[in-house]
Amino acid sequence: MAKTKTKAEQFEFKTEVKQLLDLVIHSLYSHKDIFLRELISNASDAIDRLRIESLTNADLLENKSDYKIKLIRDEKTQTLTLSDNGIGMSHDELSENLGTIAKSGTKAFLEQLQKDKQDVNLIGQFGVGFYSAFMVADSVSVITRKAGSNDAWKWTSTGEGQFTIEPADKVTRGSDIILHLKSDAQDYLKEWTLRDIVKKYSDFVEHPICMDVEKTEYPEGDDKDKKQTTKIVEETLNSQKAIWARPKNEIKDEEYKEFYKHISHDYTDPLQWIHYSAEGIIEFKALLYFPSKAPMDLYYPDSIKGVHLYVKRIFIMDDCKKLIPEYLRFVKGVVDSNDLPLNVSRELLQQDSQLDKIKKNLTNKILSTLKTTLEKDLPEYLKFYKEFGKVLKEGVHVDHENKDKIVELLLYPTSKTVGDELRTFQQVVDNMKEDQKEIYYLSAENIDVAKTSPLLELFRKKDIEVIFMTDPIDEWVINSIFEFKDKKLKAIDKGDIDLDDEATKETLKEKKKEHEGLLTFIQKQLDKEVKEVRFSSRLTDSASCLVADEHGMNKHMEQMFKAMGQAMPAQKKILELNPDHDLIGVLQARFSADPASSELKDYIELVYDQAILAEGSTLKDPIGFIKRVSELMVKAGR
C-alpha cells in the first residue's frame, strides 16, 4: 500500500548513529574525494536495479529516457547535487535504507536475487557509502521518486542523529542527492575538481556521468566584429570504456593500445597484453600489459607499480601489491572483481584467501604467457627480457612456489653463444654430453671478462658449455638455483672441478710431489694474500688463476656486497698453478738454485698479479707490479 502524503515527519536513526556517523566522517575514509565515488556507485546501482526489474515489469519505464547520472553545481546556494534516473525510493525505503547505518537496499536486493538464482552484480554492499557525504556537507537532502509511483519524498538530515521525511514534488523517477557543502569543501563546486575525481574513481562506470559546463565559441572566418560567446552544454565526464569487460573478439589492437596509454600514461605502445577472464571458484577479469620499455622508476622502492584494482568498474587503488608479486611489478593494467573482500570503506583490501587465489592465478597466467612467447616468438621475448629480465630474476629468490617456472624463462650468454645470442638452461642441458653431471657457470663483471677468463681453458678443451652470469643480481639469484632438471649447478671459480680421468689425476699427484718444496715456498711468500697454493688441471694455457673455496665468496659476490654498502671481511682465495706451464720450470730452477733470491720472489709476485688481472680485479700495488716487470725485462735483455 502506498504511503499517503503527510507533513514532515521526524525520525531517530535506528542505531548508535552519533558514534557511527562520527566514524564515517572522521575515520572510515582517508580521502574526502571518495564521497563522490560512493554516491556515483549508489546511483549506478539504482540504475542497474531499475534495468533489471524492468525486464519483468515494463511499466517501470514510463517516460523512458536514457540512463545517466548528473552532477549539478550551484555556487549561489553552495550545493552539489547528484541526480540519477534509476529505481528511486519509496517513503518506507527512505526510512529503512537511509535511517539505519549498514542497512543497504542494494544488499537486500542482491540477497533476493541470489535466492532467485539470478546472476547480477551491484556495487553497494555495506550501506555506509551514502553517509560519506557528511564528510563534505553540513546537511544532506534526498529527493526521490520510486519508479512506477506518483509519490515523491524528501529526506533531510544534518547527521546529528535525526532525519526528516516529507512529501516532495519530482516529475521524473530516480533520486537527487543535494549536498549543502561545508565552508572548507567549496572546491567540490569547481569543474576541474569534479572532472578529476570522476576520471580517477568512476571513469569506467557503465552509465554516463554528466555535468553542465561552460563552453566558449569563437567567431569563424575574418569577421573581427563578432565577439566570442559562451554557452552551457552537457558533457559526459567518464569514458565508460571498460574494455576488459568486453569479449576479446570485439576489441581491436588499437583499442588495446589506446587503453594501455590511458591507464599507464606511457606514450609508447605496449609490447604484449593478456586479456583474461577467470571463472569458477574465483571470478575476476584482468587486462594486463607488458610495457615495451622499462620505466625509470622500476627499481625505486616507493614507485607506483601500475596494476589498478577495480570492484565492479569502480576504482579502488592503483598499486595493488597484494594481487601481483613484487618481481612482476613491471606489469601494468587492471584487475576487476565482483566480490573482493574490501573493508567497509572500500579503500583497503582485507586479508583473505580470495586474494591469494587471485594472485596465484594471475602469476601463473603471466608466467605461462611468457613461456609461450619464449617458445613461439623468441625475438619478441628477447625484447621483453632486455627490459625486464633483471626484475624477473628476483622471483627465483622470493617465489619458491614458482621458482622452477621462472628459471625456465631466464636467458644467459654462454661460452658457445655468438654476439648477442642468449640461451636457456634447457638449451644448455640439451647440449650437454651424456656423462656430464653438472651445469657449469662463471660469474664475471662483463661478457668480455668472462670470455677471456683462464678458468674456461679446460672447458673449451673438453668442449663443455659454460653459462656466463654477468648481472650483479645473478650471484644472488644463483644461490637459490641448486639444480635444473636433475643437473646440479657448479661455479667454475669455486672449489675443485672434477673432469679428469684417473690417469690425469695420477699425473697431477706426481707433479705435486715433484714440486712440493716449491709449492710450500710459494705458499709462505703469499701467506698474507692466499689461503692455499696448489696445482690444478683447470688450466691448459695460462700459468695461474684464483678460485674461491667451495663454500667461499667469489670476486663477483664480493663486488655485489660492496656495491650495496656492506662491509665484507677479506676473502683469501686459492692460487692454482698450471704444472705444465714453462713458468713452473723456471720457478723450480730458481728455487733449486737459490731460495733466498730476490728475483725468485719477484717472479712469484708476478705470477700472483697475473692471476688477479686475469679474474678482472685491480692490483693493490700497480706501481710495484710495473717496477718488477721492468726490472725483469732489463735482466732478461742483458
d(CA 275, CA 503): 61
Q: How many CB atoms lie within 10 A of CB 244?
A: 24
Q: What is the pLDDT of residue 313?
A: 84
Q: 505: which residues sit within 8 A by CB, 6+ positions away?
A: none
Q: What is the pLDDT of residue 126?
A: 38
Q: Please give the average per-residue pLDDT across 133-140, as a whole number.
A: 91
Residue 571 has pLDDT above 90, yes or no: no
Q: Please give the average per-residue pLDDT across 205-231, as a whole number.
A: 81
Q: What is the pLDDT of residues 526-568, one digit of tens each?
A: 998 999 999 988 888 999 999 988 776 666 666 666 666 666 6
d(CA 492, CA 421): 21
Reading across the β-sheet that carries 174-181, which strands appear in turn?
9-12, 162-168, 152-157, 137-145, 174-181, 79-84, 69-74, 209-217, 229-236
The β-bridge partners of 79 are 74, 180
Rg of the chain (C-alpha set): 37
Q: What is the pLDDT of residue 122?
A: 46
Alpha-carbon distances of 104 from 96, 109, 449, rounded to whole Å: 9, 9, 68
Report residue 342: phi and psi, to 5°.
Answer: -75, 155
DSSP labels, 279-322:
-SSS-EEEEEEE-SS--TTTT-TT----EEEEETTEEEES--TT
Q: 630: which residues sit within 8 A by CB, 6+ positions away?
A: none
Burial of 566 (0-12, 13-18, 19+ CB in 10 A): exposed
Q: What is the pLDDT of residues 501-510, one digit of tens each?
A: 888 889 999 9
Confidence of residue 221 (pLDDT cuts 50, 70, 90): low
Residue 163 has pLDDT above 80, yes or no: yes
Domains of the chain: 9-216 (3.30.565.10), 243-376 (3.30.230.80), 411-491 (3.40.50.11260), 502-637 (1.20.120.790)
Residue 202 has pLDDT above 60, yes or no: yes
Confidence of residue 354 (pLDDT cuts 50, 70, 90): confident
Residue 605 has pLDDT above 80, yes or no: yes
Q: What is the pLDDT of residue 61?
A: 73
pTM of the predicted model as reported, rounded to 2 decimal places: 0.76
User: Which stretch of 221-235, 409-423, 595-609 has the lowest confidence by average pLDDT?
Assistant: 221-235
Confidence of residue 616 (pLDDT cuts 50, 70, 90): confident
Type and span of the H or E element at 577: strand 573-577
d(CA 131, CA 199): 22
Q: Percentage of residues in the chain with pLDDT exceeding 70?
A: 83
Q: What is the pLDDT of residue 399?
A: 93
d(CA 180, CA 78): 6
C-alpha cell at 504: 690425469
Which of 45-49, 342-346, 367-371, 606-610 shows the highest mean pLDDT? 367-371
Residue 27 has pLDDT above 80, yes or no: no
d(CA 263, CA 339): 23
Q: What is the pLDDT of residue 269?
A: 94
Confidence of residue 123 (pLDDT cuts 50, 70, 90): very low
**Mean pLDDT taken over the chain:** 84
